[in-house]
Chains A and B, each alone.
Chain A
Amino acid sequence: MADVSLKHVGKTYENASANTIEDLSLDIRSGEFVVLVGPSGCGKSTTLRMIAGLEELSDGQIWIGDRRVDELEPRERDIAMVFQNYALYPHMTVAQNMSFGLRLAGMEKVEIRRRVEAAAEVLDIGVLLDRRPRQLSGGQRQRVAMGRAMVRDPAVFLFDEPLSNLDAKLRGQMRAEIRRLHKRLKATTIYVTHDQVEAMTLADRVVVLHRGKIEQQGTPQELYERPATRFVAGFIGSPTMNFLPAEVVMSDDGVALKLDEAILPAPAAKAEGLAKRLGQPVEIGVRPEHFVVDAAPALTVTVDMAELLGPTTLVHFTFAGVACSAMLPPEHASGEGEQQKLRIAFDRISIFDPATGRAL
C-alpha cells in the first residue's frame, strides 16, 4: 500500500490542438479506492497510463509513496494493471500468464507457485491454471487478469475499464468481486470507467474528469446530492438529471422560481443566494426521482411515454419545452397521452448558473 500523488500533471500529444490533461493534481491516500470517471476523451485513461508509466508526462510529477516515479520504467513503479481487453498472453496458460512478471523478476520457482496458487484460490480459478485464455469465458479472463495483478503484490492497483467487455449481469458480479478483493487486500486502487454506476458502487472517492481537468471529486453521495457543476449533475445519476430553464422572481412568499407558467417558492437554503439574482435566468436540476405524485400538484404534464422498469415506472414528458423524465411508483404513473400531476421536491433540486454551469 502507498499514497499516490499527482502534482500539476499535464499531457500534450503531438499534433493535438489542445492539452489532453491540464495541470491535474490529485492526492490518493494509502488503501483508498478512487474511481476516475468521465466521458470518452476526458483524459481518464491517459491519466491512468501516466501513473502506470505507459505514457510520458508533458508536465508535473507523479509520486508513489515517498518515491518520484514519473521517470521510472513501469516495472520499477511497484504497480499492477488490469486492462479493458484483459491483455492476457494468448500463447501462455493461465498459470504462465500469472507468473510471467514474477519469472522476469527472477523470483524463486517455489515462491512463484505459492503466489499463483494463493491468488487462484482467492479468485476461484484454481481449475483453470492449465488452460489458455481462448478456452476461458469473459468473466474467467477478467479474473485471470486480476490474478496476474494480485500475484505481484503491488503497492498500487490500476484498473482501466476492466468490466466494459462483460455483459450486464456479469458486470454486476465482478463489481462485487472487485469490491470484496479491495476490502481483503486493502491496496491503493485507481479505477477508470465511463460507467457512473461502477463509479458510484465501487469508489471511496469519485473523481469526475472533463476535458482533461478535475470537474469535482468527493464521495459518491456528495457528487450525487451536491454536484458542483451542471456537467457533474448530468453525468452522475441514471436516468440522468432533468435541466429546466427558470427565472428568479419575487413572489408574495419571498424569492421564487418561475418555471414555464408556474411560480414555485425557492428552496429555503438557496433563497438568500438567489435573492441577488432577481430577474436573472437560472437552470434547475431535478433528478427523476425528485418528481413526486401529489394530490395538490404544482405541475400538470402530458405523458409522452411510460416505461415500466419493475419497481418503478419512468414517465417521459415535455415541460417548458424540455424533454423530462420522472421516476414514479407504477401504481401512480399515468399512461401514454394521459395527464400526470406532479410536484417537484424543491428541497432536493440543484440550481445552476446557465452561463458558467456552476452550482449556485
Chain B
Amino acid sequence: MKTHPLQRALFVALVIALILCCFLAPYAWIVSSSFKNQLTLFNDVTPLSWKAFFPVEGTLENYRTLFERTNVLRALLNTAIVAGGQVALTLLLCAMAAYSLTRIRFPGAKIVFVMILLTFLLPIEALMVPLYQVVSGLGLSNTLLGIMIPWIASPFGLFLLKQAFEELPVELEDAARIDGAGHVRIFFSIVLPNVKVPMLTLGLITFLFSWNSFLWPLVIVQDPAHQVIQVAIAQQGSPTQLPNWGETFAGATVATLPLILLFLLLQKYFTQGMTTSGIKG
C-alpha cells in the first residue's frame, strides 16, 4: 500500500518531535526549575507532570540570591576572557602548526604529526597532576592564563586544520609565490582566508570546551576573583548546607545563555565544518 506524502511527513515530524523532547527535556526542566522555590522544585517530578517543565507560580528569587551571593558577572567575564583567549591562541597555534606540517617539507614531519595525535588518547584526568606541576612551576596558578594555556595546543585543532589545508590547491600558493609572496604573506593573505569554515568550527568547539570546563579551573584556581562560571556555580552554596538546587539551576541557565546565542549565530559554520571534517577525516 502506498503511503500518502502527508502521512509520511506527519510520521517523520512525530519522530523528530519525540527525539527533540528526549534531548530538550532535561534542559527545559533546569530552566523551569530555576524559576521555582526549593520546596516545590521536585513536587512534579515523581510522578512526572507537565508542571515540571513549566513554572506555574514562577519566581525570580533564585536569580536574585544567585547574583547577591555569587559574583556571577565577574565569573562570566573571566570565562569570556579565558574562552576568547583560548580561541585566539588555539587558532593561531594550530593553524601555523597544521600549515607547516602540511606544506613545509622537513625530516620527521609524519612522526611529529603522529606523536601529536597520540596525545588524543590521554584522558584529561590523567594529565591533571603533571599539568598542575608545570603550570604552577611557571607561576601561572590562580591566573586566567593558567586556565587556558594547557589547552591551546590542541591535537584535534591541528588535525581539523591539517585536513582543511590539504584540500586547498597547492597551485594557489604557487600562484602567490610567483606573484611575489613569501611564506608568511601566503599564510595570512591566501591560506587563512580560504579555510574560514574549519577555522570557525575549531573556534566554536574550542569556545564550547573552554566555557564548559570545570575540573582544570577547579584545580588550578583557588582565588574566587579568578574563578570561571562553571566552578563559581558549583561553589555558590555553603559546604555545610544542602545545595540550593533552584540557585544552581539559575546559575546553569545564566551560564548556558551565551553559548546558545553563539551557536544560533554560527550554527551554519559549525555543522558545515563538522560535516566536512567527518567526511574527509
A and B part of one assembly: yes
B-binding residues in A (CB < 8 A) = 49, 52-54, 73-75, 79-81, 83-85, 87-91, 100-101, 104-105, 148
Instruction: Name the A residues within 8 Å of B178 (CB-CB).
Output: 52-54, 74-75, 79-81, 101
CB distance from B106 to the nearest CB of A (A): 12
Q: Report which of B169, B179, B193 forms a contact with A101, defined as CB distance below 8 A.
A: B179
Instruction: Name the A residues within 8 Å of B180 (CB-CB).
Output: 74-75, 101, 104-105
Taking a contact as CB atoms under 8 Å apart, the answer to whether B177 and A74 are in contact is yes
- Also in contact, A54 and B194, with CB within 8 A (given A85-B171, A89-B172, A104-B185): no
Taking a contact as CB atoms under 8 Å apart, the answer to whether B194 and A75 are in contact is no
Instruction: Name the A residues within 8 Å of B176 (CB-CB).
Output: 89, 100
Instruction: Name the B residues within 8 Å of A83 (CB-CB).
Output: 171, 174-175
A-binding residues in B (CB < 8 A) = 169, 171-172, 174-181, 185, 190, 193-194
The 5 tightest CB contacts between A and B, nearest first, are A101-B179, A75-B180, A87-B171, A87-B175, A104-B180
* A103-B177 Cα distance, complex, nearest whole Å: 13
CB distance from B174 to the nearest CB of A (A): 5
Instruction: Name the B residues within 8 Å of A89 (CB-CB).
Output: 172, 175-176, 190, 194
Instruction: Name the A residues within 8 Å of B190 (CB-CB).
Output: 89
Which residue from chain A places its CB closest to the CB of B177 in the assembled complex?
Answer: A74
* A73-B179 Cα distance, complex, nearest whole Å: 11
Instruction: Name the B residues within 8 Å of A81 (CB-CB).
Output: 174-175, 178
Which residue from chain A places its CB closest to the CB of B180 in the assembled complex?
Answer: A75
19 more A-B contacts (CB under 8 A) besides A81-B174, A91-B194?
A: A49-B174, A52-B178, A53-B177, A54-B178, A74-B178, A75-B181, A81-B178, A83-B174, A85-B169, A87-B171, A87-B174, A87-B175, A89-B172, A89-B190, A100-B176, A101-B179, A101-B180, A104-B179, A104-B180
* A148-B178 Cα distance, complex, nearest whole Å: 11
Instruction: Name the B residues within 8 Å of A52 (CB-CB).
Output: 174, 178
Which residue from chain B places its CB closest to the CB of A152 in the assembled complex?
Answer: B179
Which residue from chain B places its CB closest to the CB of A154 in the assembled complex?
Answer: B178
CB distance from A79 to the nearest CB of B (A): 7
* A197-B177 Cα distance, complex, nearest whole Å: 31
CB distance from A45 to the nearest CB of B (A): 11
* A81-B194 Cα distance, complex, nearest whole Å: 21
Instruction: Name the B residues within 8 Å of A75 (CB-CB).
Output: 177-181
CB distance from A279 to the nearest CB of B (A): 55
- Could you say which of B178, B181, B185, B190 has the most chain A C-beta atoms within 10 Å of its C-beta? B178
Instruction: Name the B residues within 8 Å of A85 (CB-CB).
Output: 169, 171
Taking a contact as CB atoms under 8 Å apart, the answer to whether A84 and B171 are in contact is yes
* A75-B185 Cα distance, complex, nearest whole Å: 13
CB distance from A83 to the nearest CB of B (A): 5
Instruction: Name the B residues within 8 Å of A73 (CB-CB).
Output: 177
Taking a contact as CB atoms under 8 Å apart, the answer to whether A87 and B169 are in contact is yes
Q: Report which of A53, A84, A90, A104 forms a contact with B181, defined as CB distance below 8 A.
A: A104
* A184-B38 Cα distance, complex, nearest whole Å: 87
Instruction: Name the A residues within 8 Å of B174 (CB-CB).
Output: 49, 52, 54, 81, 83, 87
Which residue from chain B places its CB closest to the CB of A52 in the assembled complex?
Answer: B178
Instruction: Name the A residues within 8 Å of B179 (CB-CB).
Output: 75, 100-101, 104, 148
Instruction: Name the B residues within 8 Å of A53 (CB-CB).
Output: 177-178
* A87-B190 Cα distance, complex, nearest whole Å: 11
CB distance from A87 to the nearest CB of B (A): 4
Q: What are 7 residue pairs bridging A and B, where the CB atoms are less than 8 Å apart in the complex?
A: A54-B178, A81-B175, A87-B174, A89-B194, A91-B193, A101-B180, A148-B175
* A79-B179 Cα distance, complex, nearest whole Å: 9
Which residue from chain A places its CB closest to the CB of B182 in the assembled complex?
Answer: A73
Instruction: Name the B residues within 8 Å of A104 (CB-CB).
Output: 179-181, 185
CB distance from B179 to the nearest CB of A (A): 3
* A89-B178 Cα distance, complex, nearest whole Å: 13
* A57-B268 Cα distance, complex, nearest whole Å: 46
Which residue from chain A places its CB closest to the CB of B168 in the assembled complex?
Answer: A90
* A52-B185 Cα distance, complex, nearest whole Å: 19
* A53-B175 Cα distance, complex, nearest whole Å: 11
Instruction: Name the A residues within 8 Å of B177 (CB-CB).
Output: 53-54, 73-75
Which residue from chain A places its CB closest to the CB of B190 in the assembled complex?
Answer: A89
Instruction: Name the A residues within 8 Å of B181 (CB-CB).
Output: 75, 104
Instruction: Name the B residues within 8 Å of A54 (CB-CB).
Output: 174, 177-178
CB distance from B167 to the nearest CB of A (A): 12
- Could you say which of B174, B176, B193, B194 has the most chain A C-beta atoms within 10 Å of its C-beta? B174
Which residue from chain B places its CB closest to the CB of A79 in the assembled complex?
Answer: B178
* A105-B194 Cα distance, complex, nearest whole Å: 23
Which residue from chain A places its CB closest to the CB of B171 in the assembled complex?
Answer: A87
Which residue from chain A places its CB closest to the CB of B181 in the assembled complex?
Answer: A104
* A148-B180 Cα distance, complex, nearest whole Å: 13
* A112-B193 Cα distance, complex, nearest whole Å: 23
Which residue from chain B places its CB closest to the CB of A145 in the assembled complex?
Answer: B175
Instruction: Name the B residues within 8 Å of A79 (CB-CB).
Output: 178
Which residue from chain B places its CB closest to the CB of A54 in the assembled complex?
Answer: B174
* A89-B191 Cα distance, complex, nearest whole Å: 9
* A89-B181 Cα distance, complex, nearest whole Å: 13
* A88-B174 Cα distance, complex, nearest whole Å: 11
Instruction: Name the A residues within 8 Å of B169 (CB-CB).
Output: 85, 87
Which residue from chain B places its CB closest to the CB of A75 in the assembled complex?
Answer: B180
Instruction: Name the B residues within 8 Å of A84 (CB-CB).
Output: 171
* A84-B170 Cα distance, complex, nearest whole Å: 12
CB distance from A133 to the nearest CB of B (A): 11
* A107-B174 Cα distance, complex, nearest whole Å: 21
* A75-B177 Cα distance, complex, nearest whole Å: 7
- Could you say which of B171, B172, B180, B190 has the most chain A C-beta atoms within 10 Å of its C-beta? B180
* A148-B181 Cα distance, complex, nearest whole Å: 15
Instruction: Name the A residues within 8 Å of B171 (CB-CB).
Output: 83-85, 87
Instruction: Name the B residues within 8 Å of A101 (CB-CB).
Output: 178-180
* A90-B195 Cα distance, complex, nearest whole Å: 11
CB distance from A329 to the nearest CB of B (A): 46
